Chain A
Amino acid sequence: MDQTLFQYSLRMGDTTLILSHRLSEWTGHGPELEEDLAMTNVALDLLGQARMWLTLAGELEGASRDEDQLAYLRDAPQYRNYLLVERDNGHYGHTIARQFLFDAWHYLLLQGLCTSTNEHVAAIAEKSIKEVSYHARRSSDILVRLGDGTAESHARMQDAVNDAWRFCGELFIDDDITLALEGQGVVPAHASLWQPWLNHVALTLAEATLTMPDPDAAVHPAHTGGVYGRHTEALGYLLAEMQHLQRSYPGASW
Chain B
Amino acid sequence: MSQNAWPLWEVFIRSQHGLAHKHVGSLHAPDAEMAVNNARDVYTRRNEGLSIWVVRAADIVASSPDDKQPLFEPANSKVYRHPTFFPMPDEIKHM
B52 interfacial by beta-carbon distance below 8 Å: no
Contact check, B1 vs A32: say whether CB atoms are below 8 A apart.
yes
Q: Scan B21-59; emit 1 where CB is below 8 A from any A CB, else 0.
A: 000000111100110011011100100000000000000
Q: How far is B40's CA from A33's CA once the two chains are assembled, in angstroms?
A: 14
Closest to B37 in A: A138
Q: What is the distance, in angstroms, from B27's C-beta to the closest C-beta of chain A?
A: 5
Contact check, B41 vs A141: say whether CB atoms are below 8 A apart.
no
Q: How far is B6's CA from A37's CA once the two chains are assembled, in angstroms?
A: 16
Contact check, A34 vs B42: say whether CB atoms are below 8 A apart.
yes
Contact check, B1 vs A38: say whether CB atoms are below 8 A apart.
no
Query: Which parts of A33-78 form the interface with B (CB within 8 Å)?
Result: 33-34, 37-38, 41
Q: What is the distance, in angstroms, from B2's C-beta to the closest C-beta of chain A?
A: 11
Q: How far is B40's CA from A138's CA once the two chains are assembled, in angstroms?
A: 11
Q: What is the distance, in angstroms, from B81's C-beta to the closest C-beta of chain A?
A: 44
A250 interfacial by beta-carbon distance below 8 Å: no
Contact check, A34 vs B33: say whether CB atoms are below 8 A apart.
no
Contact check, A141 vs B34: say whether CB atoms are below 8 A apart.
yes
Residues of chain B with a CB closer than 8 A to A145's CB: 30, 34
Size category of the binding interface on chain B: 10 to 19
A183 interfacial by beta-carbon distance below 8 Å: no
Residues of chain A with a CB closer than 8 A to B40's CB: 134
Contact check, B41 vs A38: say whether CB atoms are below 8 A apart.
yes
Size category of the binding interface on chain A: 10 to 19
Contact check, B30 vs A34: say whether CB atoms are below 8 A apart.
no
Q: How far is B28's CA from A150's CA once the two chains are assembled, in angstroms?
A: 19
Closest to A137 in B: B37
Closest to A134 in B: B40
Contact check, B1 vs A34: say whether CB atoms are below 8 A apart.
no
Contact check, A34 vs B27: say whether CB atoms are below 8 A apart.
yes
A90 interfacial by beta-carbon distance below 8 Å: no
Residues of chain B with a CB closer than 8 A to A34's CB: 27-29, 38, 41-42
Residues of chain B with a CB closer than 8 A to A134's CB: 40
Q: How far is B40's CA from A37's CA once the two chains are assembled, in angstroms?
A: 10
Q: How far is B28's CA from A38's CA once the two chains are assembled, in angstroms?
A: 13
Contact check, B45 vs A32: say whether CB atoms are below 8 A apart.
no
Residues of chain B with a CB closer than 8 A to A41's CB: 41, 45
A221 interfacial by beta-carbon distance below 8 Å: no
Contact check, A37 vs B41: say whether CB atoms are below 8 A apart.
yes
Contact check, A141 vs B28: say whether CB atoms are below 8 A apart.
no
Query: Which parts of A126-162 form the interface with B (CB within 8 Å)?
Result: 134, 137-138, 141, 145
Residues of chain A with a CB closer than 8 A to B37's CB: 38, 137-138, 141
Closest to A38 in B: B41
List 20 A–B pairs whose Cβ atoms lie within 8 Å, in order of A's numbering: A31-B1, A32-B1, A32-B6, A32-B28, A34-B27, A34-B28, A34-B41, A34-B42, A37-B38, A37-B41, A37-B42, A38-B38, A38-B41, A41-B41, A41-B45, A137-B37, A138-B37, A141-B33, A141-B37, A145-B34
Nearest 6 pairs of A and B residues by beta carbon: A38-B41, A34-B38, A41-B41, A37-B41, A37-B42, A34-B27
Known A-B contacts: A34-B27, A37-B41, A41-B41. Give 5 more (CB < 8 A).
Answer: A32-B1, A32-B6, A33-B27, A33-B28, A145-B30
